[in-house]
Amino acid sequence: MTLASRSLVTIDDLSNGEIEALFSLTDEMSGSMKEQFGLCRGKVMASLFFEPSTRTRLSFETAMHRLGGSVISAVDTKATSLAKGESLADMARVVGSYADIIVIRHPWEGAAKVVADYAGVPVINAGDGGHQHPTQTLCDLYTIKKERQTIKGLKIALWGDLKYGRTVHSLIFALAKLEANILFCPTPGLEVPEHVIKKLTTEYGGELEKYEASAQTSEKGLSSLDAIYITPGSPHQLAMMPNVSIQVELKRGVDALYVTRPQKERFATAEEGQEVEERYSTVDKKLLKEKEFKRTLIMHPLPRVDELACELDADPRSMYFKQAALGVPIRMALISLLLGVKEISIPHEDSSPRTDYPLYKRGFGVKCPNPRCVSVQESEVKYIKPEFKIVNSKPLTLRCVYCEHGFEPKYVASSEWHEGTLAEKKYHSAQSHWARKIKPENLIIFDSESEAEAHGFKPSHYTPEHR
Protein backbone atom coordinates (compact mmCIF):
# COMPACT_ATOMS: atom_id res chain seq x y z
CA MET A 1 0.00 0.00 0.00
CA THR A 2 1.26 3.48 -0.79
CA LEU A 3 0.86 6.69 1.22
CA ALA A 4 2.25 8.74 -1.67
CA SER A 5 0.82 12.26 -2.03
CA ARG A 6 -1.01 12.00 1.30
CA SER A 7 -0.74 14.69 3.99
CA LEU A 8 -0.52 14.31 7.75
CA VAL A 9 -2.50 17.13 9.39
CA THR A 10 -3.97 15.26 12.37
CA ILE A 11 -3.20 11.87 13.87
CA ASP A 12 -6.58 10.71 12.49
CA ASP A 13 -5.07 10.90 8.99
CA LEU A 14 -3.30 7.62 9.74
CA SER A 15 -5.20 4.43 10.46
CA ASN A 16 -4.09 1.98 13.15
CA GLY A 17 -2.67 -0.34 10.51
CA GLU A 18 -0.78 2.49 8.82
CA ILE A 19 0.74 3.54 12.14
CA GLU A 20 1.87 -0.03 12.78
CA ALA A 21 3.34 -0.31 9.29
CA LEU A 22 5.10 3.04 9.70
CA PHE A 23 6.71 1.74 12.89
CA SER A 24 7.92 -1.37 11.05
CA LEU A 25 9.54 0.82 8.41
CA THR A 26 11.09 2.95 11.17
CA ASP A 27 12.62 -0.21 12.67
CA GLU A 28 14.05 -1.07 9.27
CA MET A 29 15.48 2.38 8.65
CA SER A 30 16.92 2.91 12.13
CA GLY A 31 18.86 -0.34 11.77
CA SER A 32 20.51 0.80 8.53
CA MET A 33 20.64 4.60 8.51
CA LYS A 34 23.48 4.93 6.01
CA GLU A 35 21.70 2.71 3.50
CA GLN A 36 18.78 5.14 3.29
CA PHE A 37 20.88 7.88 1.75
CA GLY A 38 19.77 8.45 -1.81
CA LEU A 39 16.12 7.46 -1.34
CA CYS A 40 15.08 11.09 -1.72
CA ARG A 41 17.88 12.30 -3.99
CA GLY A 42 16.55 15.16 -6.09
CA LYS A 43 13.62 15.80 -3.71
CA VAL A 44 13.18 19.14 -1.90
CA MET A 45 11.51 19.66 1.47
CA ALA A 46 10.24 23.10 2.49
CA SER A 47 10.71 23.63 6.23
CA LEU A 48 8.32 26.40 7.34
CA PHE A 49 8.58 27.04 11.07
CA PHE A 50 6.69 30.15 12.11
CA GLU A 51 6.92 29.29 15.80
CA PRO A 52 10.12 28.48 17.76
CA SER A 53 11.37 24.91 17.43
CA THR A 54 14.52 22.91 18.12
CA ARG A 55 13.77 19.17 18.09
CA THR A 56 10.97 19.10 15.53
CA ARG A 57 12.61 21.36 12.97
CA LEU A 58 16.10 19.88 13.25
CA SER A 59 14.87 16.29 13.27
CA PHE A 60 12.81 16.88 10.11
CA GLU A 61 15.72 18.55 8.35
CA THR A 62 18.14 15.86 9.53
CA ALA A 63 15.72 13.19 8.32
CA MET A 64 15.56 14.73 4.84
CA HIS A 65 19.35 15.10 4.63
CA ARG A 66 19.84 11.47 5.73
CA LEU A 67 17.49 10.44 2.91
CA GLY A 68 19.66 12.37 0.45
CA GLY A 69 17.19 15.19 -0.17
CA SER A 70 17.52 18.97 0.09
CA VAL A 71 15.91 21.48 2.43
CA ILE A 72 14.70 25.05 1.89
CA SER A 73 13.43 26.93 4.91
CA ALA A 74 11.61 29.95 6.32
CA VAL A 75 11.56 30.51 10.07
CA ASP A 76 10.13 33.98 10.60
CA THR A 77 6.85 35.30 9.21
CA LYS A 78 8.33 38.82 9.31
CA ALA A 79 10.83 37.71 6.69
CA THR A 80 8.15 36.29 4.38
CA SER A 81 5.36 37.76 2.30
CA LEU A 82 2.90 36.73 5.02
CA ALA A 83 4.05 39.91 6.76
CA LYS A 84 2.80 41.83 3.72
CA GLY A 85 -0.66 40.31 4.02
CA GLU A 86 -0.26 37.31 1.75
CA SER A 87 -2.74 34.54 2.55
CA LEU A 88 -1.67 31.08 3.71
CA ALA A 89 -3.41 29.63 0.65
CA ASP A 90 -1.35 31.75 -1.76
CA MET A 91 1.85 30.98 0.14
CA ALA A 92 1.03 27.26 -0.01
CA ARG A 93 0.51 27.35 -3.77
CA VAL A 94 3.83 29.10 -4.32
CA VAL A 95 5.90 26.95 -1.95
CA GLY A 96 4.23 23.84 -3.35
CA SER A 97 5.64 24.77 -6.75
CA TYR A 98 9.16 24.91 -5.29
CA ALA A 99 9.18 21.82 -3.04
CA ASP A 100 8.09 18.19 -3.18
CA ILE A 101 6.92 18.14 0.44
CA ILE A 102 6.15 20.82 3.04
CA VAL A 103 6.58 20.70 6.81
CA ILE A 104 4.85 23.56 8.60
CA ARG A 105 4.54 24.87 12.15
CA HIS A 106 2.20 27.81 12.66
CA PRO A 107 0.53 29.51 15.65
CA TRP A 108 -2.94 29.42 14.06
CA GLU A 109 -4.98 26.30 14.71
CA GLY A 110 -5.93 24.69 11.42
CA ALA A 111 -3.19 26.43 9.44
CA ALA A 112 -1.68 23.10 8.39
CA LYS A 113 -4.99 22.01 6.84
CA VAL A 114 -5.16 25.18 4.76
CA VAL A 115 -1.64 24.60 3.47
CA ALA A 116 -2.49 20.95 2.73
CA ASP A 117 -5.62 22.02 0.84
CA TYR A 118 -3.73 24.37 -1.50
CA ALA A 119 -0.09 23.24 -1.77
CA GLY A 120 -0.58 20.41 -4.26
CA VAL A 121 2.17 18.41 -2.51
CA PRO A 122 2.20 16.38 0.73
CA VAL A 123 2.08 18.52 3.87
CA ILE A 124 3.10 17.51 7.39
CA ASN A 125 1.75 19.35 10.40
CA ALA A 126 4.64 20.13 12.77
CA GLY A 127 2.29 21.80 15.25
CA ASP A 128 -0.56 24.25 14.64
CA GLY A 129 -1.22 26.35 17.73
CA GLY A 130 -2.82 24.32 20.50
CA HIS A 131 -4.50 21.97 18.02
CA GLN A 132 -2.32 18.95 17.18
CA HIS A 133 1.27 17.77 16.68
CA PRO A 134 0.88 14.35 15.02
CA THR A 135 4.55 13.54 14.39
CA GLN A 136 5.39 14.11 18.06
CA THR A 137 2.63 11.64 18.84
CA LEU A 138 4.22 9.12 16.48
CA CYS A 139 7.49 9.53 18.42
CA ASP A 140 5.60 9.05 21.70
CA LEU A 141 3.77 5.94 20.53
CA TYR A 142 6.89 4.44 18.99
CA THR A 143 8.81 4.98 22.24
CA ILE A 144 6.10 3.27 24.29
CA LYS A 145 5.88 0.36 21.88
CA LYS A 146 9.64 -0.14 21.85
CA GLU A 147 9.63 -0.35 25.64
CA ARG A 148 6.37 -2.25 26.20
CA GLN A 149 5.87 -4.10 22.86
CA THR A 150 2.22 -3.00 22.78
CA ILE A 151 -0.01 -0.03 23.47
CA LYS A 152 -3.37 -1.78 23.77
CA GLY A 153 -4.51 -2.07 27.37
CA LEU A 154 -1.72 0.09 28.82
CA LYS A 155 -2.51 2.78 31.39
CA ILE A 156 -1.06 6.16 30.42
CA ALA A 157 -1.25 9.18 32.77
CA LEU A 158 -1.18 12.63 31.13
CA TRP A 159 0.18 15.30 33.48
CA GLY A 160 0.30 19.10 33.47
CA ASP A 161 -1.08 21.47 30.84
CA LEU A 162 -3.76 19.42 29.12
CA LYS A 163 -5.61 22.50 27.88
CA TYR A 164 -3.09 24.06 25.51
CA GLY A 165 -0.67 21.17 24.98
CA ARG A 166 -1.01 20.18 21.32
CA THR A 167 1.15 17.11 21.86
CA VAL A 168 -1.34 15.93 24.47
CA HIS A 169 -4.34 16.48 22.21
CA SER A 170 -2.86 14.35 19.42
CA LEU A 171 -1.77 11.71 21.91
CA ILE A 172 -5.21 11.45 23.52
CA PHE A 173 -6.83 10.48 20.22
CA ALA A 174 -4.02 8.12 19.26
CA LEU A 175 -4.09 6.29 22.61
CA ALA A 176 -7.86 5.96 22.36
CA LYS A 177 -7.61 4.56 18.81
CA LEU A 178 -5.01 2.06 19.95
CA GLU A 179 -7.12 1.06 22.98
CA ALA A 180 -5.02 2.33 25.86
CA ASN A 181 -6.54 3.63 29.09
CA ILE A 182 -5.90 7.31 29.79
CA LEU A 183 -5.71 9.11 33.13
CA PHE A 184 -6.08 12.89 32.95
CA CYS A 185 -3.99 14.59 35.64
CA PRO A 186 -4.18 18.30 34.78
CA THR A 187 -2.86 21.27 36.64
CA PRO A 188 -5.97 23.02 38.05
CA GLY A 189 -7.34 25.37 35.41
CA LEU A 190 -5.55 23.56 32.58
CA GLU A 191 -7.96 20.65 32.07
CA VAL A 192 -8.59 18.94 28.73
CA PRO A 193 -10.81 21.19 26.55
CA GLU A 194 -14.43 20.15 26.28
CA HIS A 195 -14.28 19.86 22.48
CA VAL A 196 -11.47 17.30 22.81
CA ILE A 197 -13.46 15.34 25.40
CA LYS A 198 -16.56 15.34 23.20
CA LYS A 199 -14.69 14.05 20.18
CA LEU A 200 -12.99 11.43 22.33
CA THR A 201 -16.21 10.08 23.81
CA THR A 202 -18.30 10.20 20.63
CA GLU A 203 -15.83 8.60 18.22
CA TYR A 204 -13.69 6.08 20.06
CA GLY A 205 -16.18 3.84 21.78
CA GLY A 206 -14.80 4.00 25.30
CA GLU A 207 -16.13 5.49 28.48
CA LEU A 208 -15.15 8.63 30.38
CA GLU A 209 -15.30 8.66 34.18
CA LYS A 210 -15.16 12.25 35.43
CA TYR A 211 -14.49 13.28 39.00
CA GLU A 212 -14.78 16.53 40.88
CA ALA A 213 -11.42 17.88 41.92
CA SER A 214 -10.64 16.92 45.48
CA ALA A 215 -9.61 19.65 47.90
CA GLN A 216 -7.32 17.16 49.58
CA THR A 217 -3.73 17.00 48.46
CA SER A 218 -1.42 14.13 49.12
CA GLU A 219 1.84 14.17 50.98
CA LYS A 220 3.51 13.52 47.67
CA GLY A 221 2.19 16.76 46.17
CA LEU A 222 0.05 14.98 43.60
CA SER A 223 -2.86 16.84 42.09
CA SER A 224 -6.38 15.45 41.80
CA LEU A 225 -7.50 13.04 39.14
CA ASP A 226 -9.76 14.85 36.68
CA ALA A 227 -11.00 11.98 34.53
CA ILE A 228 -10.23 8.49 33.30
CA TYR A 229 -10.92 7.33 29.75
CA ILE A 230 -11.55 3.59 29.82
CA THR A 231 -11.26 1.76 26.51
CA PRO A 232 -13.80 -0.83 25.35
CA GLY A 233 -13.53 -4.13 27.16
CA SER A 234 -11.45 -2.80 30.05
CA PRO A 235 -12.48 -3.65 33.61
CA HIS A 236 -14.60 -0.84 35.02
CA GLN A 237 -12.85 -0.75 38.39
CA LEU A 238 -13.52 2.87 39.31
CA ALA A 239 -17.26 3.19 38.90
CA MET A 240 -19.12 4.94 41.70
CA MET A 241 -15.94 6.17 43.39
CA PRO A 242 -16.51 9.89 44.06
CA ASN A 243 -13.69 12.41 44.47
CA VAL A 244 -11.00 9.96 43.46
CA SER A 245 -7.58 11.59 43.78
CA ILE A 246 -4.72 10.69 41.51
CA GLN A 247 -2.70 8.90 44.17
CA VAL A 248 -5.53 6.36 44.59
CA GLU A 249 -5.37 5.39 40.93
CA LEU A 250 -1.60 5.66 40.59
CA LYS A 251 -1.32 3.15 43.47
CA ARG A 252 -2.58 0.62 40.92
CA GLY A 253 0.43 1.47 38.78
CA VAL A 254 0.74 3.25 35.43
CA ASP A 255 2.74 2.20 32.42
CA ALA A 256 3.76 5.72 31.45
CA LEU A 257 3.59 9.20 32.97
CA TYR A 258 3.53 11.81 30.19
CA VAL A 259 4.57 15.19 31.59
CA THR A 260 4.01 18.54 29.85
CA ARG A 261 5.11 22.12 30.58
CA PRO A 262 2.70 25.04 30.97
CA GLN A 263 2.15 26.43 27.46
CA LYS A 264 2.37 30.07 28.58
CA GLU A 265 2.68 31.34 25.01
CA ARG A 266 -0.93 30.24 24.42
CA PHE A 267 -2.47 31.38 27.70
CA ALA A 268 -5.49 33.63 27.43
CA THR A 269 -5.04 37.19 28.72
CA ALA A 270 -6.95 36.37 31.91
CA GLU A 271 -4.58 33.47 32.61
CA GLU A 272 -1.32 35.31 32.05
CA GLY A 273 -1.27 37.00 35.44
CA GLN A 274 -1.92 33.82 37.39
CA GLU A 275 0.97 32.10 39.12
CA VAL A 276 0.87 28.77 37.34
CA GLU A 277 4.00 27.61 39.11
CA GLU A 278 2.15 27.58 42.42
CA ARG A 279 -0.33 25.05 41.01
CA TYR A 280 2.09 23.03 38.90
CA SER A 281 3.41 19.89 40.60
CA THR A 282 6.97 18.80 39.87
CA VAL A 283 7.76 15.24 38.85
CA ASP A 284 10.90 14.25 40.78
CA LYS A 285 12.57 11.32 42.54
CA LYS A 286 10.47 11.79 45.65
CA LEU A 287 7.24 11.39 43.68
CA LEU A 288 8.51 8.33 41.82
CA LYS A 289 10.19 6.47 44.68
CA GLU A 290 7.20 4.24 45.50
CA LYS A 291 7.10 0.67 44.20
CA GLU A 292 4.06 1.34 41.98
CA PHE A 293 6.33 3.47 39.75
CA LYS A 294 9.06 0.84 39.44
CA ARG A 295 8.32 0.18 35.75
CA THR A 296 6.68 3.50 34.85
CA LEU A 297 8.09 5.22 31.76
CA ILE A 298 8.71 8.92 32.37
CA MET A 299 7.97 10.80 29.17
CA HIS A 300 8.02 14.45 28.07
CA PRO A 301 7.80 16.00 24.58
CA LEU A 302 10.31 18.70 25.64
CA PRO A 303 11.27 21.44 26.16
CA ARG A 304 10.88 21.27 29.92
CA VAL A 305 10.91 24.14 32.38
CA ASP A 306 10.47 23.28 36.08
CA GLU A 307 7.85 20.53 35.88
CA LEU A 308 10.37 17.69 35.42
CA ALA A 309 13.40 17.49 37.70
CA CYS A 310 16.84 17.14 36.10
CA GLU A 311 17.70 14.58 38.77
CA LEU A 312 15.62 12.08 36.78
CA ASP A 313 17.76 12.34 33.64
CA ALA A 314 19.95 9.39 34.59
CA ASP A 315 17.01 7.28 35.73
CA PRO A 316 16.51 4.28 33.41
CA ARG A 317 12.76 4.95 33.43
CA SER A 318 13.27 8.36 31.79
CA MET A 319 12.45 8.25 28.09
CA TYR A 320 12.32 11.91 27.01
CA PHE A 321 15.75 12.12 25.36
CA LYS A 322 15.08 8.80 23.65
CA GLN A 323 11.76 10.23 22.39
CA ALA A 324 13.65 13.13 20.84
CA ALA A 325 16.29 10.89 19.25
CA LEU A 326 13.66 8.61 17.72
CA GLY A 327 12.24 11.64 15.92
CA VAL A 328 14.80 11.25 13.12
CA PRO A 329 14.02 7.66 11.99
CA ILE A 330 10.27 8.19 12.52
CA ARG A 331 10.33 11.25 10.27
CA MET A 332 12.60 9.56 7.74
CA ALA A 333 10.04 6.79 7.39
CA LEU A 334 7.14 9.24 7.15
CA ILE A 335 8.81 11.46 4.54
CA SER A 336 9.78 8.49 2.38
CA LEU A 337 6.22 7.15 2.48
CA LEU A 338 4.53 10.46 1.64
CA LEU A 339 6.98 11.04 -1.21
CA GLY A 340 6.25 7.57 -2.55
CA VAL A 341 9.83 6.30 -2.47
CA LYS A 342 8.75 3.60 -0.03
CA GLU A 343 5.58 1.52 0.24
CA ILE A 344 4.16 -0.38 3.19
CA SER A 345 2.11 -3.47 3.80
CA ILE A 346 -0.78 -3.10 6.25
CA PRO A 347 -0.35 -6.02 8.69
CA HIS A 348 -4.00 -6.57 9.56
CA GLU A 349 -7.54 -5.51 8.79
CA ASP A 350 -7.94 -1.99 10.07
CA SER A 351 -10.52 -1.26 12.74
CA SER A 352 -9.76 2.44 13.21
CA PRO A 353 -12.84 4.55 13.94
CA ARG A 354 -13.89 6.57 10.92
CA THR A 355 -17.05 8.62 11.07
CA ASP A 356 -18.38 10.43 8.02
CA TYR A 357 -20.31 13.48 9.11
CA PRO A 358 -22.34 15.76 6.83
CA LEU A 359 -20.58 19.02 6.08
CA TYR A 360 -21.93 22.52 6.56
CA LYS A 361 -20.10 24.99 4.33
CA ARG A 362 -22.38 27.82 3.27
CA GLY A 363 -19.72 30.39 4.16
CA PHE A 364 -22.06 32.76 5.98
CA GLY A 365 -24.24 32.94 9.06
CA VAL A 366 -21.89 31.22 11.49
CA LYS A 367 -18.17 31.26 12.26
CA CYS A 368 -15.84 29.27 14.47
CA PRO A 369 -15.88 30.57 18.08
CA ASN A 370 -12.18 29.80 18.52
CA PRO A 371 -10.26 33.09 18.10
CA ARG A 372 -7.06 31.14 17.30
CA CYS A 373 -8.67 29.30 14.37
CA VAL A 374 -7.21 30.00 10.94
CA SER A 375 -10.73 30.54 9.57
CA VAL A 376 -11.12 33.46 12.02
CA GLN A 377 -7.61 34.84 11.57
CA GLU A 378 -7.99 34.82 7.79
CA SER A 379 -11.72 35.50 7.69
CA GLU A 380 -11.32 38.18 5.03
CA VAL A 381 -9.42 35.88 2.68
CA LYS A 382 -11.66 34.56 -0.06
CA TYR A 383 -10.05 31.10 -0.08
CA ILE A 384 -10.91 30.25 3.50
CA LYS A 385 -14.56 30.02 4.41
CA PRO A 386 -16.04 28.63 7.63
CA GLU A 387 -16.71 24.93 7.25
CA PHE A 388 -18.05 22.52 9.84
CA LYS A 389 -18.93 18.89 10.40
CA ILE A 390 -22.43 18.33 11.75
CA VAL A 391 -21.46 15.88 14.49
CA ASN A 392 -24.78 15.76 16.33
CA SER A 393 -28.38 16.77 15.75
CA LYS A 394 -29.67 16.58 19.31
CA PRO A 395 -28.45 19.06 20.33
CA LEU A 396 -27.24 20.47 17.03
CA THR A 397 -23.45 20.48 17.31
CA LEU A 398 -20.90 21.68 14.79
CA ARG A 399 -17.16 20.96 14.69
CA CYS A 400 -14.82 23.24 12.78
CA VAL A 401 -12.95 21.33 10.06
CA TYR A 402 -9.84 23.44 10.66
CA CYS A 403 -9.28 23.59 14.44
CA GLU A 404 -11.81 20.91 15.53
CA HIS A 405 -13.49 23.12 18.12
CA GLY A 406 -17.08 22.04 18.66
CA PHE A 407 -20.01 24.26 19.61
CA GLU A 408 -23.80 24.48 19.59
CA PRO A 409 -25.18 27.23 17.30
CA LYS A 410 -28.20 29.31 18.28
CA TYR A 411 -30.50 29.50 15.25
CA VAL A 412 -31.42 27.45 12.19
CA ALA A 413 -33.42 27.95 9.01
CA SER A 414 -34.18 26.05 5.82
CA SER A 415 -33.29 26.94 2.25
CA GLU A 416 -36.59 25.33 1.16
CA TRP A 417 -38.69 27.96 3.05
CA HIS A 418 -41.07 25.77 5.00
CA GLU A 419 -44.21 26.61 3.06
CA GLY A 420 -42.47 27.23 -0.24
CA THR A 421 -42.85 31.01 -0.12
CA LEU A 422 -40.64 33.91 0.92
CA ALA A 423 -43.29 34.87 3.46
CA GLU A 424 -42.32 31.71 5.33
CA LYS A 425 -38.59 32.50 5.25
CA LYS A 426 -38.19 32.13 9.00
CA TYR A 427 -35.52 31.13 11.46
CA HIS A 428 -35.94 29.00 14.57
CA SER A 429 -34.13 28.14 17.77
CA ALA A 430 -31.47 25.47 17.25
CA GLN A 431 -33.01 23.76 20.30
CA SER A 432 -36.34 23.30 18.52
CA HIS A 433 -37.40 20.27 16.51
CA TRP A 434 -36.48 22.09 13.30
CA ALA A 435 -32.78 21.42 13.94
CA ARG A 436 -33.48 17.72 13.46
CA LYS A 437 -36.20 18.04 10.83
CA ILE A 438 -34.34 20.15 8.28
CA LYS A 439 -32.23 18.07 5.89
CA PRO A 440 -28.47 18.78 6.12
CA GLU A 441 -28.36 19.95 2.50
CA ASN A 442 -31.09 22.53 3.25
CA LEU A 443 -29.82 23.60 6.66
CA ILE A 444 -28.86 27.25 7.25
CA ILE A 445 -27.25 28.15 10.57
CA PHE A 446 -26.90 31.54 12.25
CA ASP A 447 -24.84 32.80 15.19
CA SER A 448 -27.37 35.47 16.10
CA GLU A 449 -30.80 36.90 15.38
CA SER A 450 -29.26 39.95 13.74
CA GLU A 451 -27.31 37.69 11.38
CA ALA A 452 -30.48 35.78 10.45
CA GLU A 453 -32.47 38.95 9.88
CA ALA A 454 -29.66 40.47 7.82
CA HIS A 455 -30.16 37.57 5.41
CA GLY A 456 -33.89 38.24 5.12
CA PHE A 457 -35.23 35.77 7.70
CA LYS A 458 -37.95 36.53 10.22
CA PRO A 459 -38.32 34.93 13.67
CA SER A 460 -40.76 32.07 14.03
CA HIS A 461 -42.59 31.18 17.20
CA TYR A 462 -39.84 28.58 17.68
CA THR A 463 -37.35 31.26 18.77
CA PRO A 464 -37.04 31.99 22.52
CA GLU A 465 -38.41 35.51 22.21
CA HIS A 466 -41.53 34.38 20.32
CA ARG A 467 -42.65 31.28 22.16
pLDDT tens per residue, range 354-403: 678 999 999 889 999 999 999 999 876 777 889 999 998 889 999 999 99
Q: Is the pLDDT of residue 185 over 90?
A: no
Q: Which domains does the chain have, with CATH numbers?
A: 11-129+325-338 (3.40.50.1370), 135-324 (3.40.50.1370), 359-466 (2.30.30.20)
Per-residue pLDDT band at 250 (split at 50, 70, 90): low
101/281 Cα distance (integer angstroms): 40
Q: What are the residue ranges of helices labelled H in 152-302?
A: 166-177, 194-203, 246-250, 269-272, 276-279
Q: In angstroms, what is the C-alpha Rg of the chain?
A: 24
Estimate the crossing angle of helix 134-148 against helix 55-66, to 10 degrees.
80
pLDDT at 62 over 90: yes
Q: What is the pLDDT of residue 252?
A: 67
By DSSP bridging, strand 123-128 and strand 181-186 are unpaired
The fraction of the chain above a pLDDT of 90, given in percent, is 54
The alpha carbon of 226 is separated from its chain's Cα centroid by a whole number of angstroms, namely 19
- Give the pLDDT of residue 280: 64
Q: Is the pLDDT of residue 154 over 80?
A: yes
- pLDDT at position 352, please? 54
Give the type of residue at 402: Y
> Between residues 243 and 18, which one has the greater pLDDT?
18
Phi/psi of residue 363, nearest 5 degrees: 85, 5
pLDDT of residue 403: 96
Q: Is the pLDDT of residue 266 over 90?
A: no
Please check the confidence at residue 150 and state whether its pLDDT lies above 60: yes
pLDDT for residue 308: 85
pLDDT value at residue 253: 76
Q: What is the pLDDT of residues 412-449, one digit of tens each?
A: 999 887 666 777 788 999 998 888 889 888 999 999 99
The Cα–Cα gap between 220 and 457 comes to 60
What's 222's DSSP letter?
P
pLDDT above 70 for 123: yes
- Give the model's pLDDT for residue 247: 52
pLDDT: is 91 or 215 the higher one?
91
Q: Residue 413 has what pLDDT?
A: 92
Instruction: Give pLDDT, residue 346.
Output: 80
State the pLDDT confidence band at 224, using cuts at 50, 70 and 90: low
Maximum Cα interatomic distance, the chain, rounded to a whole number of Å: 75
What's the chain's average pLDDT? 85
Secondary structure of residue 355 in the 3-state scheme: coil
User: In the 8-state DSSP scheme, what is residue 212?
Assistant: P
Please give the pLDDT value at position 89.
92
Question: Quick one: pLDDT at residue 127?
Answer: 95
What's the CA gap between 108 and 377, in Å, rounded? 8
Backbone angles phi, psi at 158, to 5 degrees: -105, 125
The more confidently predicted of residues 135 and 225 is: 135
Mean pLDDT in residue range 14-35 = 93
Average pLDDT over residues 256-281: 68
Percentage above 70 pLDDT, the chain: 85
- Examine the pLDDT at 18 and tell me if it is beyond 90: yes
Residue 122 has pLDDT above 50, yes or no: yes
Rounded to whole angstroms, the Cα distance separating 402 from 116 reads: 11
Predicted pLDDT of residue 242: 42
In this prediction, residue 283 carries a pLDDT of: 82
Check whether 328 has a pLDDT greater than 90: yes
Alpha-carbon gap, residue 238 to 246, rounded angstroms: 12
pLDDT at site 114: 96
Q: What is the pTM of this model?
A: 0.88
Residue 184 above 70 pLDDT? yes
Q: Is the pLDDT of residue 221 over 60?
A: no
**318 Cβ contact partners less than 8 Å away, ≥ 6 residues apart:** 298, 312
Mean of the pLDDT values across residues 94-107?
97
Q: What is the pLDDT of residue 212?
A: 58
